[in-house]
Amino acid sequence: MEDHLFIPHSFIIYLVHNNVQFATLTYVDPSTYQIMGNLKIVTTGFLFRFFLRRLTTLQWMAIVLLTVGTTTSQVALLFWKSDSEGCGEASCESLFSAPIQGYMLGLMSACLSALASVYTEYLMKKNNDSLY
């Protein structure tokens, strides 16, 4: 089968990704969305490792630090607030600063973006194509 027939798959993945991005913004605020955008780097790193090549120790350390930073920035620090302040905008029952649907859609968006980019790079390297 011709290799050029596989290229539209990445376009379809990007199409779904763009629609998931808008759905994500209905659940999370823009600043949370930007921070969750860092997960694209993490998911790209994992997929890149499995489909294309190994990552260096320094690259793995960077991915771990980025994951920890993104996760800790999204956990509401409820235990730091005194009882007189209440829970603020976050719900007292929730540890997270946004609904779980927003985080699931954000994770789906990151995975779709990573999948499309790694798949496109895989096809280009397989065919020895160049962008120039």
pLDDT tens for each residue of 5-53: 677 888 899 899 999 999 988 888 888 888 888 888 888 888 888 887 7
What is the reported pLDDT for 127? 76
pTM of the model: 0.69
What is the reported pLDDT for 16? 93
Q: How far is CA 111 from CA 16, 21, 42, 45, 48, in A?
A: 11, 12, 9, 11, 12
Q: Which of 11-15, 19-23, 97-101, 118-122 bottoms out in mean pLDDT, i.e. has the lowest?
A: 97-101
DSSP of the chain: --GGGSHHHHHHHHHHHHHHHHHHHTTS-HHHHHHHTTHHHHHHHHHHHHHT-PPPHHHHHHHHHHHHHHHHHHB--GGGS-TTTTTTTS-TT-SBSS-HHHHHHHHHHHHHHHHHHHHHHHHHHHTT----
What is the reported pLDDT for 132? 66
Place 108 in a pLDDT band, splitting at 50, 70 and 90.
very high
Cα 63 to Cα 54: distance, rounded to the nearest angstrom: 13
What is the reported pLDDT for 76? 56
Q: Which of 65-69, 83-87, 111-115, 116-120 bottoms out in mean pLDDT, i.e. has the lowest?
A: 83-87
pLDDT tens for each residue of 48-88: 888 877 778 888 888 888 888 777 766 654 445 444 455 55
What is the reported pLDDT for 39? 82
